[in-house]
Amino acid sequence: MLDEFIRSNRVEVITRSRQKVAPGAAKRRSEKVYGSGIPLFVDRLVEQLANRGPLNETAAMAHGKEMLQHGFSIAQVVEDYGHVCQAVTELAIARNAPITTEEFHTLNLCIDTATAEAVTEYQRLRDGVARKRETERLGAMAHELRNVLHSAVVSYDILRQGTVGVGGSVGAILGRSLSRLREVVDRSLAEVRLEAAVRVSERMPISELVADIEVVAAFEAKGMGLSLTVECVEGEAEVEVDRHMLASAVGNLVQNAIKFTRAGGRVALKTRATATRVFIDVEDQCGGLPPGAVEALFQPFEQRSADRSGLGLGLSISRRAVEANGGELHARDVPGTGCVFTIELPRALG
């Protein structure tokens, strides 16, 4: 009987299923996914073959959940059950174990049902996560816009009364609020362009981009009591990029540097080039990061500020914008001093 055969060779069936995974993913799956999902499914498969009853959905649903948690795709969910089916039939042939037509039909029915249940659970959970994430993003953005707009309106009302001057603290609050509104809008527009895959490339000297950003950055740095250093690569090193996307990414890095640099500190915007690459470095003096915190900066909803202001989306969007232009964005911690963010882009040649 096929159920007895699988029960007696349970470990071998699971091992053979694992071996059928592509080499690049085998290690990750063997350590994570095969922990409970596939073994549980094999046990339920034995029950189904023995009892001829309805398939217990628990195993397949558990496997779909595991696959989502560990970042696998729906295609990989389907492949896993195909691997189990192949492992069972190949092992039965190798051991000369007879499989009746009815058992083979039941085996395939079990695999089909399990695949459908796993994929359904995977999709349900993934959609739920996406909806929750989008709700959080929109809710946080609305809250952020409301707070900044409130500060701007109150500051304007005070200035309109004529009791204080524009050059005082109230005027500074209004200026910061308007800058913050611009930052939120720019970030949102960049995100929309990325989601819509709207990209218009043009060839441009990197010096033009730096010059545009320097004008605004110098004003913002001065308002925060910081110094700004700009060093542009000699010559006309050019890149072929979506100007708006790249400007948004670099601008966000500079704004972050100004935001997190300690009072009286320095922010630096530098460019350099090799024969084939162009680099844009943004250096701050935030004091450095805790160990292991560099990559976490690029995760959505991660925030560097102590007051938790902002959505924590800026660096994530900046990295996506740079990658959409064929480049890479990295961060380096300088312990006790600050951070260096580096954009690396292909240099336009010929």
Task: Judge if 220 and 317 occupy the same domain.
Answer: yes
At residue 350 the predicted structure's pLDDT band, cuts being 50, 70 and 90, is confident
At residue 294 the predicted structure's pLDDT band, cuts being 50, 70 and 90, is confident
pLDDT at 63: 60
What are the backbone dihedrals phi and psi of residue 100, each rounded to the nearest 5 degrees, phi first? -75, 165
Summarised one tens digit per residue, pLDDT across range 221-279 is 888 899 999 998 777 789 999 888 888 889 889 988 998 999 999 999 999 999 999 99
Whole-model pTM? 0.52
Task: Judge if 236 and 126 occupy the same domain.
Answer: no
Task: Judge if 86 and 205 occupy the same domain.
Answer: no
Q: What is the mean pLDDT of the chain?
A: 77
Instruction: Please report whether residue 187 resides in a domain.
Output: no
- Name the one residue in this structure whose structure tokens are 């010096």: 207
pLDDT at 26: 47
Distance CA 300, CA 194 (A): 15
Task: Kindly state the tokens that stand for 293.
Answer: 């915190």
- List b or e across 151-183, with b for residues whose CB sees 16 or more CB atoms inside 10 angstroms: bbeebeebbeeeeeeeeeebbebbbbbbbbbeb
Instruction: Please report whether residue 162 resides in a domain.
Output: no
Instruction: Please report whether residue 28 resides in a domain.
Output: yes
Instruction: Please report whether residue 30 resides in a domain.
Output: yes
pLDDT at 30 exceeding the cut of 90: no
pLDDT at 328 exceeding the cut of 60: yes
**Nearest one of 235, 243, 231 to 282, comparing CA atoms:** 231
pLDDT at 27: 47
Task: Judge if 126 and 242 occupy the same domain.
Answer: no
Task: Judge if 101 and 235 occupy the same domain.
Answer: no
Helix (H, G, I), strand (E, B) or coil at 204: strand
Task: Judge if 251 and 329 occupy the same domain.
Answer: yes
pLDDT at 344: 95
- Name the one residue in this structure whose structure tokens are 């084939």: 276
Task: Kindly state the tokens that stand for 17.
Answer: 């299923």
End-to-end CA distance of the chain: 71
Task: Judge if 109 and 204 occupy the same domain.
Answer: no
pLDDT at 182 exceeding the cut of 50: yes
Domain boundary at 130, 155, 183, which? 130
Summarised one tens digit per residue, pLDDT across range 145-175 is 776 777 788 788 888 888 877 778 778 778 7
Instruction: Please report whether residue 168 resides in a domain.
Output: no
Summarised one tens digit per residue, pLDDT across range 68-81 is 666 666 677 677 77
* Proportion of the chain above pLDDT 70, given as a percent: 76
Task: Judge if 208 and 83 occupy the same domain.
Answer: no
Domain boundary at 114, 130, 146, which? 130
Q: Looking at residue 263, what DSSP letter applies? A: T
Task: Judge if 213 and 95 occupy the same domain.
Answer: no
pLDDT at 45 exceeding the cut of 80: no
pLDDT at 198: 64
Instruction: Please report whether residue 20 resides in a domain.
Output: yes
Instruction: Please report whether residue 156 resides in a domain.
Output: no
DSSP secondary structure string for all residues of 49-113 = HHH--PPPSHHHHHHHHHHHHTT--HHHHHHHHHHHHHHHHHHHHHTT----HHHHHHHHHHHHH
* CATH number of the domain where residue 41 is located: 1.10.490
pLDDT at 112 exceeding the cut of 80: no
Q: At what angle do helices 10-19 and 23-31 cross, to 10 degrees?
A: 140
pLDDT at 2: 79
* CATH number of the domain where residue 333 is located: 3.30.565.10
Q: Which residue has the higher pLDDT, 304 or 47?
A: 47
Domain boundary at 130, 155, 186, which? 130
Instruction: Please report whether residue 308 resides in a domain.
Output: yes
At residue 311 the predicted structure's pLDDT band, cuts being 50, 70 and 90, is very low
pLDDT at 167: 79
Domain limits for position 47: 2-130
For the residues 319-343, what does the mean pLDDT come to? 91
Task: Judge if 108 and 7 occupy the same domain.
Answer: yes
Residue partners of 190: CB distance under 8 A and separation at least 6: 244, 245, 248, 249, 317, 321
Task: Judge if 104 and 206 occupy the same domain.
Answer: no
Counting the structural domains of the chain, the total is: 2
Helix (H, G, I), strand (E, B) or coil at 205: strand
- Any idea which of 70-84, 210-224, 293-307 has the lowest mean pLDDT? 293-307
- Name the one residue in this structure whose structure tokens are 């209004």: 174
Task: Judge if 229 and 331 occupy the same domain.
Answer: yes
pLDDT at 247: 85
- Name the one residue in this structure whose structure tokens are 């006309």: 236
* Proportion of the chain above pLDDT 90, given as a percent: 17
